[in-house]
Chain A
Amino acid sequence: MEQGHGVPGRVHGISALTAGAYVSVSKISKVFATRQGAVEALAEVSFGVGEGEFVAILGPSGCGKSTLLMMCGGLETATSGRIAIAGTEVSGPRDSIGIMFQDPTLLPWMTVLDNVLFPIRILRRPLRDHLDRARELLDIAGLGGFELSKPHQLSGGMRQRVAICRALVYDPAILLMDEPFSALDALTRDEMNVALLDIWERNRKTALFVTHSIREAVLLADRVIVMSRRPGTIIEDLRVPFVRPRDFSLGGTPEINGICEHLRSLIGRTQRAPGVST
């Protein structure tokens, strides 16, 4: 692996990190059986995430990053390997994990507030206790006056914000996000990045954020994990040096450009040479 210009703090010693990490992913492999034969989506992926860390998982399409996230959330099983969160192995979905997808999947007949409170209903916790928190989250997300609106009255970006609030309302220990802003137009996406930074500042959770946007990854995360093309492995685990709270003006600085360039070259290489993992 080469040293890029101005790329401080590459994370070494992956195995040292997984042991005792808040989220530990150990030698995860995933093989899908398809009609054309076995497809290896992930090959021995290992990394650790500390408590309260915001980690972005970056990689080209088809590299298995979404599958990896699903496994962390208990929605998919690994072929081999082990994922543990707070010491307990992940064997299925749990109520301490919050998850967001590309599609906000709001329930169209419920109001915004009801949608946000939906997990509370499912988890059979007292609605009354969480009403204030729901309203507060909506406020922070910039949806203050929209509690009684229906999803069809909101724009795509607004709906995703409701989804963020919904993912946070039951105070999960860890937040998983699978390309939540990929379906939005560029301007809205920038807005959402700002919104997420803001919300996350006030609700610091361990977070795993899958994206294929280099700039988004670097802007939002404490660490960026770069994955190779299928079969997915980790080719770089990079600490982002910027202090928090961050703001969007960071976007134009030479430091961030340097990091983005480095990441871009890494991904470019993995896309040209098939199956290269270093």
Chain B
Amino acid sequence: MTTVGIVSYGAYIPRYRIRVGEIARVWNDDGEKVSRGLGVYEKSVPAMDEDTVTISVEAARTALENAGINPQDIGAVYVGSESHPYAVKPSATIVAEAIYATPDLTAADLEFACKAGTAGIQMCMGLVKAGYIKYGLAIGADTSQGKPGDALEYTASAGGAAYIIGRDKLIAEIKDTYSFTTDTPDFWRREGQEYPEHGQRFTGEPAYFRHVVSASKKIMERNKLKPEDFDHVVFHQPNGKFPKIAAKKLGFSDDQLNTGLLTPLIGNTYSGSSPLGLAAVLDEAKANQLILLTSYGSGAGSDSFIIKTTKGIEKRKNVRPVRQLVNRKEYIDYAIYAKFKGKIKGVALER
């Protein structure tokens, strides 16, 4: 069986942050209570000249810098997001041009709520393993919009991570991938609508937990592995609570979860969520460590991956570690947040 895995990765989180308490102030909610309930304290906000494409390019460029490969050898670029700047015209081609992977490659944009990024990783794995391409680039990035006054406004944030998938020079091998997919309408956005809608408590058990737990259980079973065998686990993290509950349900400890849990400080980066969590883990991981990654996308599905780090991971370090990105920040208030996020009528970077 041909090995396939991660050659390198890169992450990007915008510099601005807004505290949950500041958002709560506007809606007369109890900020502390909200923070405790969600397990989220602040979230990242993109600048007015940033979007899913610019975030993807930054993450991809970092991944390339870490890889030291010729971008012309990238045979596929997939950008997974639910906030692509164009409804028609792929983000992937702009990214491909920006990193000089054009013109000999395939590209497409993906949408599967928060798991579009990991879906892209699977697609790259297929093309690489089948021998069609040497390297594939999969990106999960978002600048998700939260409806003002809605619970999701506290967590919808911006960020992304990029993965270069290949056959050799791997820092981590992807041993297996398995997905659990059903038609579950827990969270959606109709074409032309500005903000998504969701089924509130329905987004829990029948949605997030069913898919994350099922996918994780099945992939461990078929690989004859138990939670104790893993050094790290990364789940999709819509808030700071759900991943902890999933970990408990499956039998993982907080220690295994904590390295990859970023949402309390940067919010839910949607398609960037589990890819960024994985990047944070890879930043710290040692050689020959086992990682379980299970993403979740509403609509619904989970992609699960068993990842084993190689000796190579200790030699090729990430030039822009995720924790540094998390810690470099500037706080803004709700007015500036509304201005940056285009929530004020007539305010946009337009001519």
* Physical interaction between A and B: no
Binding site for A on B (CB under 8 A): none
Binding site for B on A (CB under 8 A): none
